[in-house]
């Protein structure tokens, strides 16, 4: 079951006999610099979910969002919208925010890296490899049945 608020819904899923949880987690939340990663937010999330549902298995969806530091250091790699975006006179569909549960970014962002950027592709591969090392060596690896990755906004 996929949810952005699994801590509230996991007890219900457990009562229903659902064992596979699909937490959404953001690479941006753990990628502190090009060489520094802190996966404790993911460890804490998985531990809390396992506490709520000891029989659960995890199939996390990893959102490949850029951290703010990357966008600041590589502003020339960001997409420039073809039409100027002026949101001053209308409400956004989703106000940008970081989900506290898995750290993924939600909302309409206007400062996204170009998917055609060689630098973004290189750096994202590097960060995703770090995630895979963490994930494959996790003490909870017996509870993890796979992973999915995606880039939500293009």
For the segment 60-113, what is each residue's pLDDT rounded down to a tens digit? 989 888 999 999 999 999 987 665 556 565 554 556 677 777 777 666 667 788
Where are any strands of DSSP class E within the chain? 2-3, 20-26, 57-58, 61-63, 97-98, 105-106, 148-150
> What pLDDT does 145 receive?
84
CA 42 to chain centre: 10
104 CB neighbour count, 10 Å cutoff: 22
Residues 41-69: what's their mean pLDDT? Answer: 93
Looking at residue 154, its pLDDT comes to: 42
More confidently predicted of 79 and 14: 14
Cα–Cα distance list, 109 to 82, 106, 143 (Å): 15, 8, 34
d(CA 43, CA 141): 11
pLDDT value of position 143: 87
Decide which of 85 and 32 is more confident. Answer: 32
Q: Give the per-residue pLDDT at 123.
A: 96
Q: What percent of the chain shows pLDDT beyond 90?
A: 49
More confident residue, 95 or 16: 16
CA distance 47 to 78: 35
Handedness of CA 113, 116, 122, 124 (dihedral sign): positive
The answer to whether residues 26 and 45 touch, using CB atoms and an 8 Å cutoff, is no
């Amino acid at each position: 079951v996929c949810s952005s608020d699994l801590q509230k819904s996991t007890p219900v899923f457990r009562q229903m006999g659902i064992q596979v949880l699909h937490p959404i987690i953001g690479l941006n939340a753990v990628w502190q610099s090009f060489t520094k990663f802190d996966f404790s937010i993911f460890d804490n999330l998985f531990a809390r979910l396992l506490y709520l549902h000891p029989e659960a298995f995890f199939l996390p969806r990893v959102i490949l969002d850029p951290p703010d530091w990357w966008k600041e250091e590589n502003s020339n790699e960001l997409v420039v919208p073809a039409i100027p975006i002026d949101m001053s006179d209308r409400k956004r569909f989703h106000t940008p925010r970081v989900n506290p549960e898995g750290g993924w970014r939600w909302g309409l962002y206007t400062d996204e890296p170009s998917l055609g950027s060689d630098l973004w592709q290189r750096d994202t591969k590097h960060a995703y490899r770090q995630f895979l090392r963490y994930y494959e060596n996790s003490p909870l690896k017996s509870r993890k049945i796979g992973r999915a990755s995606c880039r939500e906004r293009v």
